[in-house]
Amino acid sequence: MNNIIHLITLLTLLLCEVNSVFSQEWEAVYHSDEIFSGCDYLEAMELSNGYVLVSSLNYPLDVFDSPVNITDAVHSTQPTLSLISPDGEELYRNVYLKHGLCETTTPYLFEKNGEMYFLTSYSPDHDIDSKNYFKNYDSIPTESIIGLYKLDEMLNVTEAYEYTYPIDTSEFRNEDWYMYRNLYCGYIHIYSAFEDDGHITGVYSKMESASHEEKNDSVFFFKMDFNGNFLLRKGYEAGCGTSIMACKRQQMVKNENGYAVYYRGCPDYHGIVEYYDDDFNYMAKRDVLLPEDYSPLLTYGMLDIFSVMRSNHNTTYVCSDFESSTGAYLNDDIRLYEIDDDLNNSTELLPVLNYIERSSPEHDRTAMRSMDMTKDGGIYFTYTLNCGFFDDKDSWIIIEKLDSDFDTIATFFYNEVGVYSKATCITTTKDDGLLLVSYSYDLYNHDDRWSKVTKFPASAFVNIEEAHAHNLKLAVAYPNPGGDIMNIRTGLRNATLQVYDMQGRKVHQQIITDEVTSIDASKWQNGTYVWELRAGNGNGRGNENGILESGKWVKK
């Protein structure tokens, strides 16, 4: 069935009429020589006027009297927002610095009645190597802040609604504390926040300082209006909800029961869902029933949950990475699940209705926000083919367009040769295009580092010509440079792969039938090779058997 779908997709791509201009809509790039980005640009949202608001956690070097060591600076991030025009020009950038405090939550972005807002938390900066810490050396802050901030068109704060909370500052100073001070100190972190019936709904936890075990002190659910007033807030001590610390971001969804919070269970590393009613009264907890071939778990199983989103047919999509049973931590699988989480008709173990797996020996890694839905219920799904995770090799951001049954409509690859890149977030635009947030560095000069926001129109994902015009490829060869094995990864099927040396001699030919095809290159001489994917048997000319994708691969 999948091969038929891929064949139909291939023919559709070949025959589809091009109706728009072949040009990249825009790409906004921020180099490390402009600001130091400890955590890089992380999320973006398109505003109602077509502008794009971008959030990040950064440590700007120019706000202090002298530069700080980069290793230390990472532990004292500050929120930064950028505003990008509809044609990709950065108009404003603002850093929201609080001396003696570091940000512990990437800003959540909101637009209400044409006004921009961000919600974040600040906690005491305990890193004694940080310049920010020394600004308050005689009076180290002992309170954390949760703040909602209203912005003008130049990203200046016009209204600040802040709430302070006492935080534990008496650390058990073991070896871990001295190595990772801010990770082992008390802080507040917002795990989810989203607009809900005209107000903000979310959940945050107060973490106590690490002793022999790191744990939550308490967890709070809240509803807040856009004037910064808490409409409802309910907290829980250790017990239900306390494993939320295993979450990453945006792990809470609204459903027919009220609200559901997703997190990774410990020590079994399986999925867990907790249910709360509309007033945040605790209702129940359920485990997620993983597919049969991964149960019982032989190793850690589900490592992290990265994205949770409610579908348009009363189920929940969950993106997670999942460790293979070999026990090799970095050989992760990327999973996208559809879970029946209706508390009223589900069993004690929530069933997985559908799932897809993406894996390779090259350390595939998912993004912080790795999926978003189109207006018709389709899905954009992204992850990184991390060939350059340990080595200086090309890495590719993979964008899949899926239907609501998780069948692949098309697969696209985005990056530049000689560059390591990783996706951090995707968000659909009003016209069902895509905002992709990523960071990169030059493989031959790691000091050349940059973050970027790329806006793709919906047409970029319709046909081959448009994909190429927007720097998207339909197939890649990896690892590059490589050795005795050359892998071709593509969503195309029943196409012919041909490989040539630099003298134009054909050294290999075969039909592509799988997502990843491995070619034995052990007998090839070291050097550069050209590969091509052609439609059909590859022997003809013109569009019928023309080149669908091509590239260079280096054997060392």
Band of pLDDT at residue 278, cut at 50, 70 and 90: very high
CB atoms within 10 A of CB 433: 20
Specify the 3-state DSSP secondary structure of 484: coil
**How is residue 492 written in tokens?**
């195309």
- Contact predicate 244/263, CB 8 Å: yes
DSSP string, 299-361: S--EEEEEEEEE-TTS-EEEEEEEE-TT--TT-EEEEEEEE---TTT--SEEEEEEEEEEE-T
Q: Record the pTM.
A: 0.85
Band of pLDDT at residue 539, cut at 50, 70 and 90: low
Q: Comparing 237 with 239, which gets the higher pLDDT? A: 237
**How is residue 451 written in tokens?**
């973050």
**How is residue 385 written in tokens?**
């083919």
What pairs with residue 202 in β-bridges?
193, 222
Radius of gyration over every alpha carbon of the chain, rounded to an integer in angstroms: 24
pLDDT of residue 457: 93
Domain ranges within the chain, ordered by starting residue:
1-25+364-473, 40-238, 246-359, 475-556
Q: Comparing 306 with 534, which gets the higher pLDDT? A: 534
* CA-based nearest residue to 316, from 286, 293, 294, 278: 286
pLDDT of residue 48: 95
Band of pLDDT at residue 135, cut at 50, 70 and 90: low
- pLDDT tens readout for residues 60-90: 554 444 343 444 444 467 888 999 999 999 8
Band of pLDDT at residue 529, cut at 50, 70 and 90: very high
Task: Fold for 475-556, please state it.
Answer: Immunoglobulin-like (2.60.40)
pLDDT of residue 390: 63
- pLDDT tens readout for residues 147-194: 999 999 999 999 999 999 888 655 556 666 666 666 667 788 898 999
- pLDDT tens readout for residues 343-396: 887 677 888 899 988 876 666 677 778 999 999 999 999 988 877 666 778 888
Q: Comparing 254 with 95, which gets the higher pLDDT? A: 254
Checking if the pLDDT of 118 tops 90, the result is: yes
Percent above pLDDT 70 for the chain: 72
Q: Comparing 543 with 293, which gets the higher pLDDT? A: 293
